[in-house]
Amino acid sequence: MNDRKRIIVDCLQYCNYSESIFRDLIAGGVTAIHVTIAYHEDFAEMVQNITQWNTWFVQFPDLIFHGRDAGDVRRAQAEGRTAVFFGFQNSSPIEDDIGLIEICHTLGVRFMQLSYNNQSLLAAGCYESDDAGITRMGREVIGEMNRLGMVVDMSHSGDRSTIEAIEISERPIAITHANPRSWHSVARNKPDHVLKALGQSGGMLGFSLYPYHLKGSSDCTLEGFCEMVARTAELIGVDAIGIGSDLCQDQPASVVEWMRRGKWTKETPTVSQGFPPQPSWFRSNRDFGNIADGLREVGFSEEEVDQILGLNWLRFFEVSFDPRRASHEPATRHLPPSDNEGRITTDAGRSVRW
Amino acid sequence: MNDRKRIIVDCLQYCNYSESIFRDLIAGGVTAIHVTIAYHEDFAEMVQNITQWNTWFVQFPDLIFHGRDAGDVRRAQAEGRTAVFFGFQNSSPIEDDIGLIEICHTLGVRFMQLSYNNQSLLAAGCYESDDAGITRMGREVIGEMNRLGMVVDMSHSGDRSTIEAIEISERPIAITHANPRSWHSVARNKPDHVLKALGQSGGMLGFSLYPYHLKGSSDCTLEGFCEMVARTAELIGVDAIGIGSDLCQDQPASVVEWMRRGKWTKETPTVSQGFPPQPSWFRSNRDFGNIADGLREVGFSEEEVDQILGLNWLRFFEVSFDPRRASHEPATRHLPPSDNEGRITTDAGRSVRW
């Protein structure tokens, strides 16, 4: 690694957070993380999870703070802290109530998956045998998320639902943590036609480091991973890719059981193996330098490494988190400038569909 | 009324809001209102009340918007709209959970009464026969409200609890809607020693226009009301007074029954008379001009009328709503400048205990 202060954004992780992990973030130079606030929680349970983060923000103000907009990424970089962005991996916290989306956005939630493995009120999950696409309520919810500035995340959704979300959403969407199915064929990875549609719409893919999403699982090599990144860049463009490590450091085996079973089944799981071991080259938030080295090895330029490790997500945050301006409202303080066609030119000079 | 655009702040009302009342606010030149979001609601029920306001903010963006800080009062004045500030008349929405205070502050709640008529987990209500003062949890909650920037409101609390809240709170507190008991002797009005302690601590009293708080009830004259204001200004200072009308326009009789009974009694109420008629000179948000006229009649200067009708609350908002700076945190973007002793000098040039 060189000494230059790089912006590093990990757009999905769910560690068992502690002072030790917060210190890893600082030591690893991680500027911003998107953390999961809810998998199966209802609204009240989700609020309790936010109060836990609020307690950490008071306890460790020199390490972390609550990130709410793209400016907070630059603030974190300037102050040597890590900005923590909130997201849901499921729509359970909004229950059946579209009004709760704005409540959640006000509480700082910036990402929501429309479904998690199973059918939700909004979309199919990636493990359903049949995917009927975005539901009636799902269309309403996407519109409301677009209005408020909450990113539609389709990481655990079905392929048809994902394609439809890309088409319906007026803002670019994200697949925060998944890899190409053409590299490693599991339901949680995404087929090329979905990834292409994502890239063409201004959306973002975050590459997962979760072993079950990797070719060779825990034995996946850094070189193999980075070659996959290079092929994906050729497929959907180097602007459309970043990291969403899915790092679940220090979580007990009970957590992965709960992720899978939630409250929807009483089936006794087969003997749980807990979380699989991470690849040797990515075990904690201190290891992003290894990925940077690997990306350079497979031929990415220094600028492209910067893009993949953080600047692409930063550009995406810039167009994703601000509430939309209503036509009758006076100009707000938050929106980036847009041209006459409603396109927004980001700091990176790229025009993104709004 | 003269043509000059006065800042008018009504620091407590609970109307049955509608487009008609929002248009009254604009026609009456009301810059900001503090509205009640909860009387007896638990957290989830309170959130539903906020979603109702969020719907109104979307429906009537040219009339109202959600006020969060003192700057929003000036923004409302500049844009000819009304800023709506949220508050609770009870601590029921935080249930027994101190973590919910920050959640509520994030949702925009800027005032909370520690009790409503009855004993709460935090303080005694004004109708309890014995007042044992601020509870153990009450002390914790006041500290957390001080940290976040949520005003302690003691309008419906007992006298001893109110005195103790003034002493314990490191920020000035408010009695948003009550009158002097020496003028009209009911439990909801406040004795002189409480009002003096309030004024000496930098706190604010909002005069109520609710008939049961007025000498002569619905027949109270404008002159009688304004003479009471003048005597109170002599008692606690013209800097410490404003309006908190307690206007409950268009509410059905069932609402006042619910306010009184909540969920704490199964007693059948005596035949309800519903809300009493308002005095002829204050029936809606269009009538603040009458109060301005009345205040001038009893000898207040134009500058003092401005203070009482809005500028005193604006100054109070300026020192009340911003989160406190933690000693280890970098300077925030929100706090007004403070001198070396932690005093904050407001726009009005007055030094307020912090």
B48:A108 CB<8 A:
no
Report the domain count for chain B.
1
| B-contacting residues in A 314-353 (Cβ below 8 Å) | 326, 328-330
Average pLDDT over residues A261-279: 82
Burial code (b: 16+ CB inside 10 Å, e: under 16) for A28-59 equals bbbbbbbbbbbbbbebeebbebbeebbebbee
A123-162 per-position pLDDT tens digit: 999 999 999 999 999 999 999 999 999 999 999 999 999 9
Check residue B120 and give left, alpha or beta (phi > 0: left; psi -120 to 50: alpha).
beta
Lowest mean per-residue pLDDT among A21-25, A270-274, A350-354: A350-354
pLDDT of A9 over the 80 cut = yes
Q: How far apart are CA A102 and CA A109, in angstroms?
A: 9
Query: Percent of chain A having pLDDT more than 70?
Result: 89
CATH of the domain at A183: 3.20.20.140
Q: Is residue A300 part of a domain?
A: yes
Q: Is residue A115 part of a domain?
A: yes
Q: Is residue A2 part of a domain?
A: no
Point out which residues pair with A338 in neighbouring strands: A344
- B102 contact residues in A (CB cutoff 8 A): 51, 54
Q: Is residue A3 part of a domain?
A: no
Whole-number pLDDT of residue A267: 81
User: Residue by residue, what is the 3-state secondary structure of chain B?
Assistant: CCCCCCCCEEEEECCCCCHHHHHHHHHCCCCEEEEEEECCCCHHHHHHHHHHHHHHHHHCCCCEEECCCHHHHHHHHHHCCEEEEEEECCCHHHCCCCHHHHHHHHCCEEEEECCCCCCCCCCCECCCCCCCCCCHHHHHHHHHHHHHCCEEECCCECHHHHHHHHHHCCCCCEECCCCECCCCCCCCCECHHHHHHHHHCCCEEEECCCHHHCCCHHHCCHHHHHHHHHHHHHHHCHHHEEECCCECCCCCHHHHHHHHHCCCCCCCCCCCCCCCCCCCCCCCCCCHHHHHHHHHHCCCCHHHHHHHHHHHHHHHHHHHCCCCCCCCCCCCCCCCCECCCCCEECCCCCEECC
- Tell whether A55 lies on the interface with B, counting CB pairs under 8 A: yes
Range of the domain at A117: 9-352
Per-residue pLDDT of chain B (354 residues; tens, 9 = 90+): 444 589 999 999 999 999 999 999 999 999 999 999 999 999 999 999 999 999 999 999 999 999 999 999 999 999 999 999 999 999 999 999 999 999 999 999 999 999 999 999 999 999 999 999 999 999 999 999 999 999 999 999 999 999 999 999 999 999 999 999 999 999 999 999 999 999 999 999 999 999 999 999 999 999 999 999 999 999 999 999 999 999 999 999 889 989 988 989 888 766 567 899 999 999 999 999 999 999 999 999 999 999 999 999 999 999 999 887 654 444 333 333 444 443 444 333 333 333
B326:A61 CB<8 A:
yes
Q: Is residue B1 part of a domain?
A: no
Provide the 8-state DSSP code for A309.
I
Whole-number pLDDT of residue A265: 86
A49-84 per-position pLDDT tens digit: 999 999 999 999 999 999 999 999 999 999 999 999
Whole-number pLDDT of residue A289: 97
Q: Is residue A1 part of a domain?
A: no
| B-contacting residues in A 76-135 (Cβ below 8 Å) | 79, 97, 99-100, 102-103, 106-108
pTM (2 decimals)? 0.84
Average pLDDT over residues A7-28: 98
A54:B330 CB<8 A:
no
pLDDT of A343 over the 70 cut = no
Whole-number pLDDT of residue B265: 86
Q: Is residue B90 part of a domain?
A: yes
> Which helix (H) or strand (E) element contains residue A255?
helix A253-261
Q: Is residue B4 part of a domain?
A: no
